[in-house]
Chain A
Amino acid sequence: GQQVMQIPQYQHVQEGEDFTTYCNSSTTLSNIQWYKQRPGGHPVFLIQLVKSGEVKKQKRLTFQFGEAKKNSSLHITATQTTDVGTYFCAALGVNDYKLSFGAGTTVTVRA
């Protein structure tokens, strides 16, 4: 599987502010996926990116895949208390069945 580094590990956000979490790999990726895990819950699939430079939006969430397909980002605008949880990126390498997860960014929100 691919090694993916995710930063930051923790993100403390004031409600209404924006933040970004980043995912980086040293090798070219086949695709990258993002998951959200609420406290005490299980990971839930958010989105998959497969094309170089791809940008996808889900309401206040914007996902981007780098031009070289080695990095990705998740940007959340106007953070709400419902955004609390851990966001994971996960990557498939080229010709690789194994999905490797980053360590996650745990988000807390101050009301």
Chain B
Amino acid sequence: NAGVTQTPKFQVLKTGQSMTLQCAQDMNHEYMSWYRQDPGMGLRLIHYSVGAGITDQGEVPNGYNVSRSTTEDFPLRLLSAAPSQTSVYFCASSGRWGYTFGSGTRLTVV
């Protein structure tokens, strides 16, 4: 049982480039979400989904897109990377007992 799998683990982008962070879960959870973590600011919600075909914005959605075509996958797209998007990104899915987080993607935008 893999839980929540995120790829890649590390990524360096140039300003203006686009990329997709992948997230997959095998627990059949309906609720999935993306957070970014910056020093001293905890985890801030970017986007979330309550099921396939349904997504909504979180606290800091600007510059990011999501889609949810299947229960298992919830990719996060950076449209045009900016240095302010340098962060650690966590995907999470929610079952009955709290959130299960992936191991994270460390993104640096130069």
Contact = CB atoms under 8 A, between A and B. Distances in A.
Interface of A: 1, 6, 9, 33, 35, 41-48, 88, 90, 97-104
For the complex, would chain B's binding face be called helix, strand, loop or mixed by DSSP majority? strand
Contacts of A42: 90, 101-104
Given A43-B99, A44-B101, A97-B50, A1 B58 contact: yes
B98 A33 contact: yes
Contacts of A98: 33, 45, 48, 58
Contacts of A41: 103
Interface string B93-106: 01001111111100
A45 B100 contact: yes
Interface of B: 31, 33, 35, 40-45, 48, 50, 56, 58-59, 90, 92, 94, 97-104
A1 B90 CA distance: 18
Contacts of A35: 98-99
15 contacts: A1-B58, A43-B90, A44-B101, A45-B97, A45-B98, A45-B99, A45-B100, A46-B98, A47-B98, A99-B94, A99-B99, A100-B45, A101-B43, A101-B44, A103-B41
A33 B99 contact: yes
A48 B98 contact: yes
B97 A48 contact: yes
A9 B40 contact: yes
A32 B33 CA distance: 17
B96 to A, nearest CB: 9
Given A33-B99, A42-B101, A102 B42 contact: yes
